[in-house]
Amino acid sequence: MAKQASKNDLSFDFDFLEKLVVGIGEVSQITGIPTRQIRYWEEKNIITSLTEEEGKNRRYNYENIKKMLLIKELTDEGYTLDASAEKVKKRMEMIEETLNKLKNRK
């Protein structure tokens, strides 16, 4: 009988998350953050889209989406945008370190 992965299974496919890329409209739908606000955050260099050329559709990966959700959570709690971005930067470093440890356990 094949083992079925559960929602709490630590062997979750992290490769999938690394390959996930969506457009700005989809990010807005997923996160509830207006596209205008996402563009503003990008102008302030708080987030970076994967799009390198001017005028091309903005594309974002899982890391960017997670970062946006964390920033939104903190700004909703009353933190300034700059303070939120700094706190999120530190959190993202910790998350990345943890994910790398989990990947290496395979």
SS3 percent helix, strand, coil of the chain, rounded to 5, is 60, 5, 35
Alpha-carbon span 85 to 67, nearest angstrom: 8
Q: Which domains does the chain have, with CATH numbers?
A: 18-104 (1.10.1660.10)
**pTM score:** 0.72
pLDDT tens for the 106 residues of the chain, in order? 444 555 555 555 666 667 788 899 999 999 999 999 999 999 999 999 987 666 678 899 988 998 999 999 999 999 999 999 999 999 888 878 988 888 888 6
